[in-house]
Amino acid sequence: ILHLSMSFLDPGDAVLIPNPGYPTYAAAARLAGADVRFYPLTENGDWMPDLGRLESTDLSNVKMMWLNYPHMPTGAAATPELFRQLVAFARRHRILLVNDNPYSFVLNDHPLSLLSTPGAKEVALELNSLSKSHNMAGWRLGCLAGRADYLQAVLRFKSNMDSGMFQPLQAAAARALQLGPDWYRSLNAVYRERRDLAVDLLRKIGCRLREKQVGMFLWAEAPAAWADGYELSDHLLREAAVFLTPGGIFGENGRRYVRLSLCSDHETLREAARRIEALQLTVRSQPTTVAKPGKNQAQW
C-alpha cells in the first residue's frame, strides 16, 4: 500500500479513500504528501460508493481511488456491475483504481477480480495476499497485478526500499499456490462454524447484522441503547474481558458498529459468548433483528 502511494502520488495530489475503511490507505497517502478525501459508504447504500455524488465534486486533482472488495470491515461483496461503473468512472476522470482484495477466497462464493472487468487493465491495479487465503499472516507474501508499466513504476520504488525475501518463504508460497479447491473448502468450513458461533455471540448482545457477509470478520450495529460502538466495546472489555473492535476506528461512518474477528478458535468464541451472557446485557439491548440485503446488493 505504501509502495503504491509513493510510486504514483505527488504532494498536492488527492486520493479517494473509503469511510469506513482500512486506516492504512490514508496513512500511506499522507506519507506521500497527498491530500486524503474520504468517500462515504453507508449501510443504506450497501456499503458501495455513490459515484453520482462523487461526479458532482471537483475531481481534477484526484489521482488514485482505493477500493477494498470484499470490503473490510463491513463484509460487503462487489458486483460485476459495480466494477463496470468504477472502471468507466476512472476512465472519465483519469484516476488509478486500486482494489485491495485479500479476502477474495474467505467465505466468498463468488470470488471477483476488478481486473476481470473489460477495460480495467488500463486504469486499475489489484492487490492480493496469502495472509488470509492460506493462513500466512506475518509472512508478507502477496502480489500486485496489473499493467507491466504500472508494475515497473512500483518496482522502481520498491527496489530502493527493500530487496529479496527469505527463500524458504518463497518455496512455501509456491507450494501453497498449488493447492486445489479442497483447500479452500476445508478452510471455509472452519470459518463457517466460527461465523455461526460469532452470530450467536452478537445476538446475545442485541446487535443487528446483515446476512451473508464475506471475509473473516462480522460487522454489526450496536443496540440503540449504547451511545456507539466505542461505548459497547469498552463495557465488554471492562466487564467481561471480551474485545470487539469499535467500528469508529475505520471512520466516522463506522461509529455505530463493532467488528468481530473470525480468527479466534471455536472454544474462544464459545467462552466469549458465555461471558457476555453472564452480563445479562439484554437490560440495555433491544431485540436483535437481521437486516436483509438492500436492492443493489445481491451477494450479502
pLDDT tens digits, the chain, 300 residues: what are they?
A: 999 999 999 999 999 999 999 999 999 999 999 999 999 999 999 999 999 999 999 999 999 999 999 999 999 999 999 999 999 999 999 999 999 999 999 999 999 999 999 999 999 999 999 999 999 999 999 999 999 999 999 999 999 988 788 999 999 999 999 999 999 999 999 999 999 999 999 999 999 999 889 999 999 999 999 999 999 999 999 999 999 999 999 999 999 999 999 999 999 999 999 999 999 865 455 434 444 444 333 222
pLDDT at 282: 52
User: Do the beta carbons of residue 242 and residue 275 sit within 8 Å?
Assistant: yes
The C-alpha atoms of residue 131 and residue 135 are separated, in whole angstroms, by 5
Which stretch of DSSP H or E encloses residue 147?
none
The Cα angle at residue 153 between residues 147 and 157, in degrees rounded to 5: 145
| Burial of 212 from C-beta contacts in 10 A (0-12 / 13-18 / 19+) | middle
Check: pTM over 0.85? Answer yes or no. yes
Among all chains, which residue has been given the C-alpha cell 487465503? 133
pLDDT of residue 284: 55
pLDDT of residue 296: 37
What's the full length of the chain, in residues?
A: 300
What pLDDT score was predicted for residue 276?
95
Q: Where are the alpha helices (DSSP H) in the chain?
A: 2-8, 24-31, 51-55, 80-93, 130-133, 148-158, 167-176, 181-205, 229-240, 266-279
> In the chain, what are the domains?
2-176 (3.40.640.10), 181-291 (3.90.1150.10)
Q: Indicate the residue type of 76.
A: A
